[in-house]
Every structure is written in C-alpha cells, then in structure tokens.
Amino acid sequence: MSSKNDQPYKGKANLSVLFGDDEVVEPTAEKLLSIESIKLPSSQPRRYFDSQAMQALVESVKTDGILQPLLVRPLGDDKYELVAGERRYRAARELGLTEVPAIVRDLTQQQALRVALVENLQREDLNPVEETEGILQLLSHHLEYDREEVVRLLYRMQNDVQRMNDNVIIHHEMQIVVKVFSELGRMSWESFVSNRLGLLKLPSDIQEALRRGQIEYTKALAIAKVKDEQARKSLLEAAIAEGLSLTQIKERIADLKAGTSGEEPEENLKTQIKGALTKANKSQAWSDPKKQKRLQKILTELESLLAD
C-alpha cells in the first residue's frame, strides 16, 4: 500500500458511475475548513489502515502539507461530512492541524457513498475483500437491491451464461450490472463472480490476512480449500512467513492430501525430501547470495537434526 501523500487517479471517474446518468454535480472551489467541523461518515468502504503506510503519510504531510484537498459534503450549521480523503484527514488529526484544504460538494448520502467507493477503487487503496464489498455496495445503490439480492442476481447471471441463455443481456438489472463494471474498468462481472465473491465466504483468519495485505487473494482461495482447520492455519502461517508462491502452496496442499490418503507418514516425508532435492538441483537459487545463505542455514539445521 502506498504511503505517498495521496496518489493521483489512474483514470478519471465516469460521472454516471458516481451519480447516475441524470445526476451531475458541479465541483466547488477549494477552501480551508476547520478540522473540527468535519466528521467521518457512518458508512465507508475502507476499514483497514496499514500502520506503516499511515506513519509514512503522516511524515509526508508533516514535510509537504496536504497536497490534495479532502472532499466533503455540507451538513448545515457549518458542519461537513468527509466523503473522500480519510487517510489525509487522519494524518492531519495526528499532527494536530487545525485547518485542512477541502472541496465542498452538495451530495446526498447515497451520492457520497458512491463517490467514496469509486475514489477508493480508482486509487487502488482497497484490499481485495474491501474492494469486493465496495463493488457490491455500488451495485446495491444502482440496482436499489440489498447486498444479498445483488449476490443472488450475479450468480443467476453466471448460471444463465453457462447455460447459454441469451436473456441475460436483455434484463434491465443485468444491463445495469454490465454497465457499472464496464465504467469501473477494473474487471468484468464474470471475473468478479468467479474470483471475488468467494472471498466473502473465506474463514476469518484468511480474510484478516487479506485485509492486512499479507497474502494475495488467489493464494487465499487456494488455502481455503484445505478442510482440516489446523492444517489450513499452519499453511496460511507458512505462506505468509515464507512468502510461498501459488505453485508452492498447491504443492503443499497436494502433500497434505497424500498424507491423508493412506500413505505412511515416514514414506510421505521421504517423498517430500526427495522432491525438495530434485527442485533444489533445478533451482536458480544457487546464483542468489541471499538464497544461498538461507539454504546453508537450512542444511546446517538438517545435518544437526540427523546427527541427533
């Protein structure tokens, strides 16, 4: 996660994504607002803030100030609600700033949530779980469905496509889904259903690792397939600590399955050692000084273990 004093957009948000086709809101000039006049919204897409990234942002704001204004909406009586820029707001609070630059826009609560979602999605500030939840919220507002209804609709669309049912294109709510994903420009709705919705069903420890950015979602989905809870937790810990690749994770899952298929533990261990030696002989690790040092340490521990 970046620690720069707010990254620029990687693409300009389409106003129909933010507000809908019939709702266009003109931007307002930047002004200085009292930080005490700004409150956080009750509903926001972002939930996890990396402590190191936040500290880096605090240092950036301390040195250079707030380079991009916050976005707020007026609540009346000179009070405002934050729409976008929570990290900058938190950094300013920590530094004890009394005023912050802000752009004020007259937005409804629904519009404000849409802006917050799209702003975070385009800045790539959200982890995969938050991104999935955010997209579902965005679809919920466009369709005027609750989240569970949106999920059911998406799965129904997927089933229709798999059955080669052309009606999937002509239903109004389905056209809305296609349009939202097209305008977001991040992934297709098909990819979202196949690869992202499953993240919301992951065990809590795997979800937490995803929220903290400790593991990629493809690895998380693979680890979640391990049924034995203790084995799954051990594999998750190893994947994070050792930086296992997806291929290595799948190999360990295969080893776990082999260990429960009737093969004697001793034979299974011998097979793993032989496999590791075969991979080591073919590996490019020998030309990497850091990996050489780590291999030497492992070899020393192995020799000590065998001597005992």
Catalytic residues: 86
Residue 204, SS3 per DSSP? helix
The answer to whether residues 224 and 206 touch, using CB atoms and an 8 Å cutoff, is yes
3-state helix, strand, coil in the chain (%, to 5): 60, 10, 30
Return the residue matching tokens 């992934």: 187
The letter for the amino acid at 277 is L
Strand order in the sheet with 38-39: 30-34, 99-104, 70-76, 79-84, 38-39
Question: How far is 116 from 109, CA to CA, in rounded Å?
Answer: 11
Residues 6 or more apart whose CB falls under 8 angstroms from that of 164 comprise none
